[in-house]
């Protein structure tokens, strides 16, 4: 089996035990020089060495991996993810607690869930459920400590700093801190979270633990500092947390940080408090967190703060559809069988036998894919990404793959560029872009060069320069993989993420340069291709929201209001479910426009107000100004 160790954790796991390289080498049968190279991240371990390493530490192999990846049963996989989603939303919709309890009971009765990390997962979910139900603190604390001890027997709450925490352990310790807080033991809760924060800061930027836990830990600290009367620290956590949430979590936790900051500043700046409460209320309403929206309104009322809501409504009171469709899970122990199975499934879907050449076009040589299928021979992480995209799959679901330290550094650099582009920080992109352009993979014809050329087009278009030169740059990006450009046959193609991004921008360029009908047709064909070929929802989430937004916008401008509204609702549902406040606000703009054009002024202005305030929280001032000017001009209402 292969796997990504995203946090370079092998050396840290050994050091947690207090063992030197020489001591560990004696009973692990791993050469001391190889151990040195692993610790210094000069190379990744061979499969045999990795198995010996983990066995010698007495830890399960998947301690390094995502906890669910070795579960091969599709039904179990879907129950686990459904359970995590419902636990997250049960705080806002208490009736979900009943179905959550049912799912936990189902998992308990399945084979393999009575020991190891599966038992740890069950205990975590049960403890979280009990916390939501308000059960006795001692009972929950004991359960959490039992769960942590399964993989971390040396756990000491008072001396956590510097220890390597794997994802299940981190989630449990965060929950333990929140339980201490609820019981009134602020000192213990703050101590745990401060130690966790120090550990998270030390992790690499693209660490999965950091991505998932940074904002929740800051949020917990902000609330605890507020309750302890340490207002300066609370405000610092809120300000840092909002930046982290916007950058890493697409604004998921931003309203929470805003509400806590509003409560913190109330004692000395009532005006600023009022200015913070309104966008928090609008964002909670937009994301269907009605319980929190009501809490904000009640707090304002209790403090004698009155803010103009512009008739903002909780437009939808139903629980978002939390189910996730992942498709068939293929055992990850056979690399060759994995990709061979993908190709055969794709052939059945398309009704024609898909050749090796058709799959690897623009991604890799035919021989590379042949070696992968027949010999399970590992390759570059970027080739894996392209192949998973072409099959419409979410790579992290099926298996993990060791990538070299060099590949890891390039991967991190590319992800940083993507994050900066998403935030509109183009000035910071230029030096990183220059670095990427010198790397051989991004200089050669294929998806690497396509990414660089697409990036050039995005930088050129940063001020919405949709012109002939922009179109030429996008066409150059498309041709970088050697594929023909035929707008009418896009719906039949299996596309990678970079190909989808390029075609999406070509469609927008056509729409913005007087060829809207042609652009919409291209976007519709692209929408059909993704719906037809992308199997996993988590893969769809990367591509579909932006496409649906652009398609709904331009279809609406062509007068097809019903179709535009439907697309806006579909895209909004996906974003709400996955906590994307930024894109939810963008869809709200489209929906508000349709409602106004359909004659429902009250609802349209209400949705515009939600979008306006939510965009302010995620620092999207450009779109916020567009909304403000549009509503002021058309309806004589000035959002402030």
357: burial class by Cβ within 10 Å (0-12, 13-18, 19+)? Answer: exposed
Q: Which residue has the higher pLDDT, 323 or 478?
A: 478
For residue 148, the Cα-to-chain-centroid distance in whole angstroms is 25
Q: Tens of pLDDT along 152-181?
A: 777 877 777 555 566 677 888 899 999 999
Compute the average pLDDT of residues 140-149: 91
Alpha carbons 322 and 574: distance in angstroms, whole number? 9
Alpha carbons 450 and 498: distance in angstroms, whole number? 7
What's the length of the chain?
640
In angstroms, the Cα distances linking 307 to 266, 301, 640 are 14, 9, 11
Rg (CA), the chain: 25
Alpha carbons 153 and 237: distance in angstroms, whole number? 31
Which pLDDT band, with edges at 50, 70 and 90, does 525 fall under?
Answer: very high
Question: Mean pLDDT highest for which of 88-102, 110-124, 312-326?
Answer: 88-102
Q: Tens of pLDDT along 440-469?
A: 889 888 899 999 999 999 888 876 678 999
For residue 109, the Cα-to-chain-centroid distance in whole angstroms is 31
Q: For all residues of the chain together, what is the average pLDDT?
A: 82
Residue found under tokens 């966790």: 196
Q: Within a 10 A sphere around the Cβ of 272, how many other Cβ atoms?
A: 14
Q: Tens of pLDDT along 250-300?
A: 899 999 999 999 999 998 888 899 899 999 999 998 898 888 988 998 999
Compute the average pLDDT of residues 43-51: 67
What share of the chain has pLDDT > 90, as a percent?
Answer: 32
Long-range contacts of residues 597-605, Cβ cutoff 8 Å, at least 24 apart: 597/556, 597/561, 598/561, 598/565, 601/635, 602/311, 603/313, 603/315, 605/310, 605/311, 605/631, 605/635, 605/637
149's enclosing H/E stretch is helix 137-149
One-letter-per-residue 3-state SS of 375-428: HCCCCCHHHHHHHHHHCCCCHHHHCCCCCCHHHHHHHHHHHHHHHHHHHCCHHH
Contact criterion met (CB below 8 Å) for 178 and 141: no
3-state secondary structure of 112: coil
Q: Which of 254, 225, 224, 226 is nearest to 240 (CA)?
A: 254
Does residue 63 carry a pLDDT above 90? no
Q: Tens of pLDDT along 564-621?
A: 989 998 888 888 888 899 899 999 998 888 888 888 888 888 888 899 999 999 988 8
Sorted by sequence, the CB contacts under 8 Å of residue 90 that are 6+ apart come out as 96, 97, 100, 129, 132
Q: Which of 92, 80, 78 is nearest to 576 (CA)?
A: 92
Q: Give me the pLDDT at residue 240, please.
A: 95
72's enclosing H/E stretch is none
Q: Which of 581, 582, 587 is nearest to 569 (CA)?
A: 587
Q: Tens of pLDDT along 295-342?
A: 998 999 898 888 767 667 554 445 566 665 544 444 455 677 778 888
Quick one: tokens of 237?
């956590």
User: How does DSSP classify residue 320?
Assistant: P
Contact criterion met (CB below 8 Å) for 627 and 325: no
Q: Give me the pLDDT at residue 68, please.
A: 33
Long-range contacts of residues 105-109, Cβ cutoff 8 Å, at least 24 apart: 106/79, 107/76, 107/79, 107/80, 107/83
User: How does DSSP classify residue 267?
Assistant: T
Sorted by sequence, the CB contacts under 8 Å of residue 356 that are 6+ apart come out as 343, 366, 369, 370, 373
Q: Which of 44, 241, 80 is nearest to 168 (CA)?
A: 80
């Amino acid at each position: 089996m292969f796997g990504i160790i995203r946090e370079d954790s092998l050396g840290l796991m050994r050091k947690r035990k207090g063992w030197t390289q020489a001591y560990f080498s004696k009973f692990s049968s791993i050469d001391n020089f190889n151990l040195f190279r692993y610790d210094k991240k000069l190379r990744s371990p061979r499969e045999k060495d990795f198995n010996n390493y983990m066995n010698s530490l007495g830890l399960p192999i998947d301690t390094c991996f995502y906890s669910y990846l070795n579960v091969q049963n599709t039904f179990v996989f879907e129950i686990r993810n459904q359970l995590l989603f419902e636990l997250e939303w049960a705080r806002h919709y208490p009736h979900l607690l009943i179905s959550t309890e049912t799912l936990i009971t189902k998992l308990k009765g399945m084979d393999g869930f009575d020991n190891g990390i599966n038992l740890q997962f069950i205990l975590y979910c049960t403890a979280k459920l009990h916390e939501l139900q308000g059960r006795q603190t001692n009972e929950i604390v004991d359960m959490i400590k039992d769960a942590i001890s399964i993989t971390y027997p040396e756990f000491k709450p008072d001396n956590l700093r510097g220890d390597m925490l794997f994802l299940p352990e981190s989630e449990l310790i965060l929950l333990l801190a929140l339980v201490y807080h609820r019981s009134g033991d602020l000192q213990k809760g703050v101590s745990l979270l401060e130690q966790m924060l120090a550990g998270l800061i030390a992790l690499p930027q693209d660490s999965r633990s950091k991505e998932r836990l940074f904002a929740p830990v800051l949020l917990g600290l902000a609330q605890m500092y507020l309750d302890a009367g340490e207002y300066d620290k609370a405000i610092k956590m809120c300000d840092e947390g909002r930046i982290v949430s916007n950058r890493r979590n697409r604004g998921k936790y931003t309203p929470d940080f805003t509400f806590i900051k509003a409560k913190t500043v109330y004692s000395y700046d009532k005006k600023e408090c009022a200015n913070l409460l309104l966008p928090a209320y609008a964002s909670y309403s937009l994301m269907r967190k009605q319980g929190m929206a009501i809490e904000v309104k009640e707090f304002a009322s209790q403090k004698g703060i009155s803010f103009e809501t512009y008739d903002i409504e909780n437009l939808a009171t139903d629980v978002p559809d939390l189910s996730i469709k992942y498709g068939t899970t293929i055992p990850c122990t056979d690399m060759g069988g994995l990709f061979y199975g993908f190709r055969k499934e794709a052939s059945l879907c398309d009704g024609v036998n898909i050749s090796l050449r058709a799959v690897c076009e623009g991604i890799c040589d035919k021989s590379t894919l042949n070696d992968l299928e027949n010999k399970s021979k590992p390759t570059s992480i970027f080739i894996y990404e392209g192949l998973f995209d072409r099959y419409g799959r979410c790579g992290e679901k099926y298996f993990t793959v060791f990538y070299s330290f060099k590949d890891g550094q390039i991967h991190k650099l590319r992800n940083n560029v993507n994050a900066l582009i998403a935030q509109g920080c183009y000035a910071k992109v230029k030096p990183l872009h220059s670095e990427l352009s010198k790397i051989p993979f991004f200089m050669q014809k294929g998806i690497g060069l396509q990414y660089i050329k697409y990036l050039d087009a995005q930088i050129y278009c940063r001020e919405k320069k949709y012109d002939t030169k922009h179109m030429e740059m996008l066409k150059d990006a498309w041709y970088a993989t050697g594929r023909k450009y035929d707008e009418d046959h896009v719906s039949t193609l299996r596309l990678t993420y970079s190909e989808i991004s390029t075609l999406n921008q070509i469609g927008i360029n056509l729409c913005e340069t007087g060829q809207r009908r042609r652009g919409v047709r291209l976007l519709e064909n692209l929408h059909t291709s993704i719906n037809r070929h992308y199997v996993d929802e988590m893969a769809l989430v990367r591509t579909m929201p932006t496409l649906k937004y652009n398609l709904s916008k331009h279809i609406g401008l062509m007068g097809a209001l019903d179709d535009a509204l439907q697309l806006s609702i579909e895209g909004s549902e996906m974003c709400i479910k996955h906590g994307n406040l930024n894109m939810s606000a963008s869809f709200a703009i489209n929906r508000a426009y349709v409602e106004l054009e359909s004659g429902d002024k009250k609802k349209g202005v209400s949705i515009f107000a939600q979008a306006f305030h939510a965009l302010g929280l995620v620092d999207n001032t450009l779109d916020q100004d567009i909304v403000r000017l549009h509503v002021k001009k058309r309806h004589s209402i000035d959002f402030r």
